Amino acid sequence: MAADAPHPTFEGYAAEPVPQAAVGSPGKDGVLELTFAATSRGTRLVHDYATVPFHVSGTLAHDPHPNAETVFVQSPTGGVAQGDRLDVTVRVDSDAVAHVSTQSSTKVQTMQRNYAGARTALSVGSGGHLDYVPEPTILHEGARYCQELTLELAADATAVVADVVVPGRLARGERFDFERYLSRVHTKGPDGSLFEDATHLAPAESDPTAPGVFGEFAVYGTTFVVAPGRNAAALSDTLHEAASDADSDARAGATELPNDAGVAVRALGDCANAVQTVLHAAWDCARRELLDAPAPVGRKY
């Protein structure tokens, strides 16, 4: 992202110098690269590269799918700071099955200058599958955060991509006190663009708690089940039922994505756990439909 022009709503922030450590200095440009490949012993992580604030300790073999590989990305820092630029690349080769998550929530710290940006590029080869399901993003007071995610699918590839946003440290009464948040998702298939989705929140300019936006709720989450060529209508009904039946106070629903790309499940709740419970139920249902295996469960340490 450091080499690309920022989104127009972040151009003014980009011109502001960062006093403690300039944009692009050591520790400010984080890079994470992961490549998964199918082998005779199942999926294996064949390439990994990480710079601060990313750290990879290896893989975990706890996925219910017998051929899947799992990576939990760690961070040795206290969170994302002003001027940080993060670049994540995850590649899943043909017939490989991978699950990538984070060990804990991403905390976007208070900012007075510039902004923090994250660019994530995901690709899945023919017959492969990727679950990209990080822990929630927590936007501290004054945070300015722009994240852009691209997903490219080859023929017969599938993916589940999730995102949960918490608008502050809710336990201490912080709620929609961040400055600006932008999240954009662009997905491409073998024949071109499948769909785009964007969430843009600037509480000082437009009240997120207004009816028709967040209303009485605080936490927002989305899970995209991207499965071109599958029966999107039937999958949408199945995921909607799974989300509705989840043991949670969150409100949720599923809808078909454009171009028969799959299904989007969206949820609103009072806390991250409520939203995650709903989205996990949808993820589990999607996993069973696409891979004939449940979604991973278990506490992260």
SS3 301: coil
What residue spans define the domains of the chain?
A: 43-291
d(CA 166, CA 84): 20
Residue 23 φ then ψ, to 5°:
-55, 130
pTM of the model as a whole:
0.93
> Percent helix, strand, coil in the chain (nearest 5)?
15, 40, 45
Per-residue pLDDT at 212? 84
Q: What is the reported pLDDT for 4? A: 62
| SS3 at position 87 | strand
- Largest Cα–Cα separation, the chain: 55
Half-sphere exposure of 295 (CA within 13 A, CB side): 25
> What per-residue confidence (pLDDT) applies to 238?
97
Q: What angle do CA 16, 19, 22 make, to 5 degrees?
A: 75
Record the tokens describing residue 60, joined without a space: 């975990």
Rounded-to-integer distance, Cα 205 and Cα 207, Å: 7
Q: 3-state DSSP call for residue 58?
A: coil
Question: Tens-of-pLDDT digits for all 301 residues of the chain?
Answer: 444 667 888 988 988 888 877 665 656 789 999 999 999 999 999 999 999 999 999 999 889 999 999 999 999 888 999 999 999 999 999 999 999 999 999 999 999 999 999 999 999 999 999 999 999 999 999 999 999 999 999 999 999 999 999 999 998 899 999 999 999 999 999 999 999 999 999 999 999 989 888 989 999 999 999 999 899 999 999 999 999 999 899 999 999 999 999 999 999 999 999 999 999 999 999 999 999 999 998 665 5
